[in-house]
Structure formats: structure tokens, C-alpha cells
Amino acid sequence: MRKAALQLTGWGRGPASSLEATRPERFSEAVAAFSEPVGAHGLCLRGAGRSYGDCALNAGGDALITTRLDRILAFDAETGIVQVEPGVDFRRLLQVFLPRGFLVPVTPGTFFATIGGAVANDVHGKNHEHAGSFCQHVTELDLVLPDGSGRTVTPEDGALFRATAGGLGLTGLITRIAFRMMRVSGGGVTVHEQRANDLEAFLTAMAVSADATYSVGWIDGAAHGTRLGRGILETAEPCDDEISRHRPRELRVPVDFPGFALNPVSIGIFNETYFRRVPEAGRTRPVAWQKFLYPLDAIHDWNRIYGRRGFIQFQCVVPFETGPAALRDLLEVISGSHRASFLAVLKRMGAGRAGYLSFPMPGYTLALDFPRRPGIEELYERLTAITLDAGGRVYLAKDALLDALTFRRMYPEFAGFSEVLASIDASSRMQSDMARRLRLREAP
């Protein structure tokens, strides 16, 4: 296949990687493109490019983009099992299956992500504590291994499945994913929003409502002193009512914002307004599925508000036991840096994970965006150090700055992953910028 010279970035933008890409449209083309000879920088797979960092980039190497492998292959309404090509995205599944009463059991906060990408990062949603991670709902995968041979993998297969789930595309090309959809009866959820005036109140409120099906908190990363860790907790239950499914209006950010648009003052004002939007006594209202699961998708290309230099997302998870103290330390560093943006999330996580490199562990996960400005590396390092000390880890789907050593300490099952890679891809054909940065193709 003809290769196109492209300059690509992750969702966080910033410096681009030059690579040679194919974008096959048919199954046979995909297998052929995957098997073509590659140079020293190997081959990387890429879905919709919604990972923030560099896991779907391969500077100086090749990439295979899966977005045109986008067919729904089978659906069994009895079992709810759907089979899709890897480039099918969450948006399509919502459009096709919600009217019939089926919803994906786990979804990230953007419906532009592909199912192949969801497997390769073993993604989690706002219901992780109860529903687990995406790959825990997968019943079968078709995989083209780095040597070009095909293989069907099930969770019972053990090592190869665990290396592929959350495996960052390094075990080969996933060409078919079978997973179980969930039945839903109505058009959306009943959302309850409540204010939490500080971190302690926040964690208590989350613990009290730990049984809620969906639970997610917005946290004010700029608040400090007695307000440190204040935010809004949103819990939700599926409801049977028909909620008007009028399409939310879609907007687009047409230009890159100038670098100064996001500053401590504008963010302080935004956060204050956002916090006060919810009355002190809280509020409850019905919200359609799309609006509830994918609020950010109503604004296309929102990553452009950070300007050309882009931004970094820091997402960590810290265990319940060490969590409260660690979160306090993290928030103090963050608010003291005066760099946090308004997109900031605090959630509880459960134990559900399917792969060696899956992110989740029982605890609290905190995610914040920072404009990519000088000094960001030091800030990120301080945050990862606190996370590591607390026995936590950062999420690779978001990461662009972690170092290989810290990664190894955060991901103790890396040895198992390495062993599988060594057995299926001794010549390190599968590569990425992240694989080189974290030395994923080297000894644990």
C-alpha cells in the first residue's frame, strides 16, 4: 500500500512525530499493510488518536491507522454480544444500539475513541468500581501477531490475552473484538449533583455514594487553603424514562487559542462559576445518555484551546489507604503551581483490570490538564513522585513524560508483559514513541 508521510501528535498536541502511515480500508489490505517490511523504528498502530501522549506515535517509523476498518460484523440480541472491526468507534455503537436498548458496558469519556484503542488501553468509565474495565467484557479477539500469523485470543488463553488487553498495540493488530453489550431500558440517567467544600467532604461523599452505578467528580484544581480539593460529585442511575433525545448542539473550536487565553485568573473565574452552578443543596435531573457519557464531545477539537504548544494530562490512581494524604499532597502541588486547567476529574476505582499493563487499582483516580509550558516536566515529576510513594501509578493512555524506571516501579506486572513480547516479537517489530521512551521493548 502507498504510504503517506504524516506529522501526527497525540490528543495533547505539542511536538509532532513524522511517520509513514497506511490507512487500510479492507480486511485483506490491513493484513497486507501490517505485514509489509518496516525500518529500524518498526511499526505502530493507531486508532482515533485520542490518547493524550505518545502511545500511538512512531517518529521516524511506520504507522497503521485503523479508523477505516469500521464495520460491525455481528450482533446477537440474545446474548448482547457484538463483534466489530477495530476502527468502529463508541459514537457508532451509541447510534446503532441505543435505540434498540443496548449500551456499551464501559466507555471512556469520548465517543471518538475506537474499540481497538479501548482494548489497547483497557479503558475505564465512570462506572469502574462496579463494571470493571473494558477488556473484562471482551469475550474474544482476533489478532495478527507481529510475524503476520493470525490468532483468536480469549480471556481463558491467559498470557497473550493479558498482554493484549492494555497492551498499547505492541502484541500486534487486533482485527476483531467481540464483547458483551449491556441492556438499558430508557433514554438516560438520573443525575444527582452535590457540592463538596473540601477534599475530606469530597472523599466522604464519594464513600457514602459508593453504590451508585455511575460516579464522577469535578475538582477545582485551583482551589487552595480551606477550599483545597473542593468540587462537585456527580452520581447517576439509569432511569426508565424516555428522555428527549434531541441531538446536543455540536460546536467546533475553529482556531488555536493564543497561549495566554488560559491563565490563573480566567481559570479561577471559570472554576468559581462552575462550582456555584450547582446549588448548595444539590440538584437532581434527568440527562440523556450521550450528554452524560460524552459531555466534552459536544465541542469538537476542544484541544485547540490550549494553543499550538498543546497540553499534558496527568492521571494517576492512588490506593484507598494512602489516597487521602497523597491527594492532599498532589492538590497542594497543583494549586501551588497555578497551572491547572479547568478540566479536572476525581473518581473512585475498583479492582477491575484485564491486562498486565492495565491502569486500574482500587483507589482514587485524579486527572488534570496542564498547558505545555516550560517547567511542566518538573511539575509532572513531582506529581509522579507523590503517586509512586503512595503506591499508585499514572495512566499510560494519558502519559507523555514518565521515565522508564518510574514506569517499572508503577507497573509490577511488566515482567509478564515483557515475557509475552519476547516470545511473539523477538525482533521488536512493534514500536512506538512511548515504547522507546519507557523502554517497553527492553528487559524489565
Partner 1 sequence: MSEMQTWLVLGASSAIARAFARAAAARGADVILAGRDTEDLARTAADIAISTGRAAATISFDALDVASHASLVQRLAAVPGVLNVALMFGTMPEQAAIDADPDLALSCIASNFSGAVSILHRLAPLLEARRAGVVIGFGSVAGDRGRLKNYVYGAAKSGLHTYLAGLRNRLGRGGVHVMTVKPGFVDTAMTFGLPGLFLVASPEFVARACLDAAARRKDVLYVPWFWWGIMAVIRAIPERTFKRLSI
Ligand X SMILES: Cc1cc2nc3c(=O)[nH]c(=O)nc-3n(C[C@H](O)[C@H](O)[C@H](O)COP(=O)(O)OP(=O)(O)OC[C@H]3O[C@@H](n4cnc5c(N)ncnc54)[C@H](O)[C@@H]3O)c2cc1C
Rounded to a whole number of angstroms, the minimum distance from the CB of residue 129 to ligand X is 13
Pick from 121, 136, 235, 337 the residue near ligand X by CB under 6 A: 121
Rounded to a whole number of angstroms, the minimum distance from the CB of residue 337 to partner 1 is 40
Rounded to a whole number of angstroms, the minimum distance from the CB of residue 44 to partner 1 is 16
Q: Which does 26 bind (CB under 5 to 8 A by kind): partner 1, ligand X, none?
A: partner 1
Q: Which does 81 bind (CB under 5 to 8 A by kind): ligand X, partner 1, none?
A: none
Rounded to a whole number of angstroms, the minimum distance from the CB of residue 26 to partner 1 is 4
Pick from 8, 19, 21, 56 the residue near ligand X by CB under 6 A: 56
Helices (H) and strands (E) counted in the chain, each on its own, are 13, 21
Cβ atoms 304, 5 nearer than 8 A? no
Cβ atoms 22, 33 nearer than 8 A? yes
Nearer to ligand X, 48 or 153 (CB): 48
Residues lying near partner 1 in the complex (CB under 8 A): 2-6, 21, 23, 25-28, 68, 70-75, 85, 92, 96
**Closest to 52 measured CA to CA, from 392, 371, 412, 405:** 371
Query: Does 55 contact ligand X by CB under 6 A?
Result: yes
The interface with ligand X within residues 124-143 (CB under 6 A) comprises: 124-125
Region binding ligand X by CB under 6 A among candidate stretches 45-53, 76-84, 278-286, 324-332: 45-53
The CA-to-CA distance between both ends of the chain, in Å, stands at 35
Rounded to a whole number of angstroms, the minimum distance from the CB of residue 142 to partner 1 is 12
Cβ atoms 390, 323 nearer than 8 A? yes
Q: Which does 71 bind (CB under 5 to 8 A by kind): ligand X, partner 1, none?
A: partner 1
Question: Residue 232's beta-bridge partner residues?
Answer: 195, 218
Amino acid at 182: M
- Show the cell assigned to 419: 515475557
Query: Does 174 contact ligand X by CB under 6 A?
Result: yes
Q: How many CB atoms lie within 10 A of CB 156?
A: 8
The interface with ligand X within residues 95-114 (CB under 6 A) comprises: 108-110, 113-114
Query: Does 47 contact ligand X by CB under 6 A?
Result: yes
Q: Which does 235 bind (CB under 5 to 8 A by kind): partner 1, ligand X, none?
A: none
Q: Which does 114 bind (CB under 5 to 8 A by kind): ligand X, partner 1, none?
A: ligand X
Pick from 11, 97, 161, 179 the residue near ligand X by CB under 6 A: 11
- Strand ranges, E, within 43-155: 43-46, 62-65, 72-76, 81-84, 102-103, 138-144, 150-153
Rounded to a whole number of angstroms, the minimum distance from the CB of residue 115 to ligand X is 8
Sheet hosting strand 214-219, strand order edge to edge: 283-288, 188-196, 231-239, 214-219, 344-349, 363-371, 311-319, 393-394
Task: Give the span between the Cα atoms of 428 and 422, in whole angstroms.
Answer: 8
Phi, psi for 184 (deg, rounded to 5): -130, 150
Q: Which does 28 bind (CB under 5 to 8 A by kind): ligand X, partner 1, none?
A: partner 1
Tell me the Ramachandran region of residue 101: left when phi exceeds 0, alpha when psi lies from -120 to 50, beta otherwise. left
Task: Give the span between the Cα atoms of 255 and 389, in whole angstroms.
Answer: 40
Region binding ligand X by CB under 6 A among candidate stretches 14-22, 38-46, 185-193, 399-407: 38-46
Contacts 24+ apart (CB under 8 A), 39-43: 41/431, 42/428, 42/429, 42/430, 42/431, 43/429, 43/430, 43/431
3-state DSSP assignment of residue 266? helix
Region binding ligand X by CB under 6 A among candidate stretches 39-47, 187-195, 277-285, 412-420: 39-47
Q: Which residues bind ligand X (CB under 6 A)?
A: 11, 44-51, 55-56, 66, 86, 108-110, 113-114, 116-118, 120-121, 123-125, 168-169, 173-174, 296, 397
